[in-house]
Amino acid sequence: MGLTYDQLAEMNKKHLWHPFTPMKAYNAADPLIIERGEGVWLYDVHGRRYYDGFSSVWLNVHGHNVPELNKAITDQLGLVAHSTLLGMANVPAVELAAKLAGIAPPGLSKVFFSDSGAAGVEIALKMAFQYWQNRGRRGKATFISMNGAYHGDTIGAASVGSIPLYRETFLPLLFAPRILPYPYAYRHPEGAEGAKDATLSALRKLLEQEADEIAALIVEPIVQGAGGIVVMPPGCLSGIAALCREYGVLLIADEVATGFGRTGEMFACDLERVSPDLMVVGKGLTGGYLPVAATLATDEVYDSFCGDDERRTTFFHGHSFTGNPLGCAAALASLRLMEERTLVEEVRAKSAFVSQKLAKAAELVHVGDVRQQGLMVGIELVRDKSTKEPFPWADRIGVRAAQRARELGMLTRPLGHVVVFMPPLASTEAELDEMTDILVKAIDDATMGSEWR
Ligand SMILES: *Cc1c(COP(=O)(O)O)cnc(C)c1O
C-alpha cells in the first residue's frame, strides 16, 4: 500500500526543503505531488494530469517514460550502475564523449563530465583560469559575464551570474566579473540594433582596456534563460565571439538551457556558426532523465594541461559520479532518438506553429513582449503596454499566471513577470495547440480576469 496524499503532504511539509522556493508561502498551500509521467503529461497522486509546459524546468526532450530511454538505462543497469572515471574509463562514457565531440561546434574535441550545469560551469571557469596559468599568463584571471546572466548556484557559477535576487545574500563570498550590458531589445530605446551595438561597443571598449587581465567571457548563447528568456539580436553572438578572438580572451558558451535542439539547432552556437573555446551542456543531455553535464574544450585548451610539470598543469578537479554509466547510456539513447526522429528539424516546424499561435498572446492588453527561439518562449507581462511599465513585484503576476495555467491543466514556472513556455521537444502539434491555448487563456485570466481573482 502506498502512502495517502495527506500522509505525503504532511511528510513533505515536515522534511522536504525545496529549491528556489519561499518555504513559508509554499507550506501554506496544498502541495502538488507528482507520481508518474507519460509523454508530455505528468500525473499527480490523485491521478490528475497536467501538460509539462516547462519540460520539468527545461530538461525534458522526448517526453516522460519513453520506452527507448527506459530500456537503455535498464540494459546498462544489468552491466554496471557506476564505475569511476578517475584513472579509468567505462563504455558508455567513452561512447558519449566521442558522440558529443562529433555533434558539437567544430574544434570542441575533449569532453569532461560532471553532474549538474552549475558544476559544468565551475569546470569551464577553472579550466579557462588554469589555461592561462599553464601558459604563463598569470595576469589573465578575471571573467566577463552578461547582465542578467544565470549560470548555476554554486559559488563560482553564482559569481558569474548577475541576477541580484540570487546573488545579493552571498555577495561577500563571490568573485566579481566584469559585467557587459545584455542586448535586451524590448527595453532598449533603439530596439534590437541599438541593443546589439551597445553590447558590442561596450565589449570592445572593455577588451581594449583590460584584455590582459581577462581569462574568458561566459555567455548564454542566443537566449538568456533565467534572466527572462531574452533572445539576442542576430549577429550579436558572432560579434562577441569575434571580439573575444581578436583580443585573446576565451569564449565559454553556457548551452545548459539552449543545448540539444531547444533553439531549433543542435546548439544555439550553431545558429551563428560560433565555435567557442569551452562549452557547457547539461539539462537536455540525457533527455532530461538523469543528472549528467559536460564541459567541452578545444585541443588548444586541453593541450595546455598536458605539460611536463604534472603538478602544475594537471586539472585537479572531479566529482564522485563523473561519467556515470547509467546517465551516459541515457544520453546516448536520447541523442540516437533525436537523430532517428530528426527532432531538431521538427523543432523548427513546431516552433513556427507555436509562433503563429502566440500571435494571439501578443495582442493581450498586458503582454509587452513575446520572445521565442525554437521551443523556448518567454512572455513578458507589463502593467502598461504603452509605457512598458512593469507590474509591481507584490502583484506576483507571473506566479498568478502559472497558477491559472495549472488550474487549466498545464504546469509552468515563471521568471518574475515573464511567463515561460518550454514544452518537451517531442510535443505533437495537437499537444502544442492545446498548450498554447491554455497559456494564452491563463495570461488573459491572470492579468484581466476579475472573476478568477
Ligand atoms: C539551469 C542552468 C544552469 C545550471 O544547471 P543546474 O543543472 O541546475 O546546475 C546553468 N546555466 C544555465 C544557462 C542554465 O539554464
* pLDDT 10s digits, 315-356: 999 999 999 999 999 999 999 999 999 999 999 999 999 999
Question: pLDDT of 196-217, one tens digit each?
Answer: 999 999 999 999 999 999 999 9
Q: Is 444 annotated as a binding residue?
A: no
Q: Which amino acid is at 193?
A: E
Does the pTM surpass 0.95? The reply is yes
Q: Is residue 2 part of a domain?
A: no
Q: Flag whether pLDDT at 451 surpasses 70.
A: no
Q: How far is the CA of 293 from the centre of ligand 1 (A)?
A: 10
Residue ending a domain, choose from 315, 340, 365: 340
Does the annotation flag 62 for ligand binding? no
Q: What pLDDT digit, counting tens, does each position of 374-422 carry?
A: 999 999 999 999 999 999 989 999 999 999 999 999 999 999 999 999 9
Looking at the fold, whether 336 and 418 belong to one and the same domain comes out as no
- Please indicate, yes or no, whether residues 372 and 382 belong to a single structural domain of this protein: yes
What integer pLDDT is reported at residue 235 of this predicted model? 98
The whole-number pLDDT of residue 2 equals: 87
pLDDT at residue 108 above 70? yes
Say how many C-beta atoms besides its own lie within 10 A of residue 427's C-beta: 25
Cell of 36: 508518474
Question: Which of 275, 308, 340 is where one domain is finished?
Answer: 340
Q: What is the pLDDT of residue 68?
A: 98
State the closest ligand 1 atom to the C-alpha of 157, by its place in the atom list counted from 1.
10
Q: Which of 340, 355, 383 is the last residue of a domain?
A: 340
Question: How many domains is the chain built from?
Answer: 2
The amino acid sitting at 321 is F
Is the residue at 20 inside a domain?
no
Looking at the structure, tell me whether residues 336 and 352 fall in a common domain: no
In a domain, 12, yes or no: no
User: The dihedral of CA 206, 207, 212, 215: what is its sign?
Assistant: positive
Domain assignment present for residue 15? The answer is: no
Q: Decide: 254 in ligand 1 pocket, CB within 6 A.
A: yes
387 and 278 part of one domain: no
Same domain (yes/no): 38, 90? no
Same domain, residue pair 103 and 45: no
Pocket test for ligand 1, best of 151, 154, 260 (most atoms within 8 A of CB): 151
What is the residue whose three cell numbers read 533565467? 226
| pLDDT of res. 452 | 52
Residue 194 belongs to domain spanning: 70-340
Name every residue whose Cβ is closer than 8 Å to that of residue 91 and which is 6 or more positions away in sequence: 79, 325
User: What average pLDDT does the segment 230-236 reach?
Assistant: 98
- Residue 172 burial (CB count, 10 A): 5
290 lines ligand 1 (CB under 6 A): no
Is there a domain that residue 8 lies in?
Answer: no
Is 406 a known ligand-binding residue? Answer: no
Same domain, 189 and 301: yes
The domain that holds 412 is classified in CATH as 3.90.1150.10
From ligand 1's centre to the CA of 387, what distance in Å? 33
* 453 has a pLDDT exceeding 80: no
Per-residue model confidence as pLDDT tens digits over 255-279: 999 999 999 999 999 999 999 999 9
Q: Is residue 9 domain-resident? A: no
375 and 435 in a common domain? yes
Same-domain check for residues 251 and 398 = no
Are 55 and 82 part of one and the same domain?
no
Q: Which residue has the higher pLDDT, 293 or 165?
A: 293
Report whether residue 116 contacts ligand 1, using a CB cutoff of 6 Å: yes
What are the tens digits of pLDDT across the range 113-133? 999 999 999 999 999 999 999
Q: Which CATH number does the domain housing residue 275 bear?
A: 3.40.640.10
Residue 210 and residue 243 in one domain: yes
Whether residue 1 has pLDDT greater than 70: no
Q: Are residues 112 and 254 in the same domain?
A: yes
**Residue 369 near residue 377 (C-beta atoms within 8 A):** no
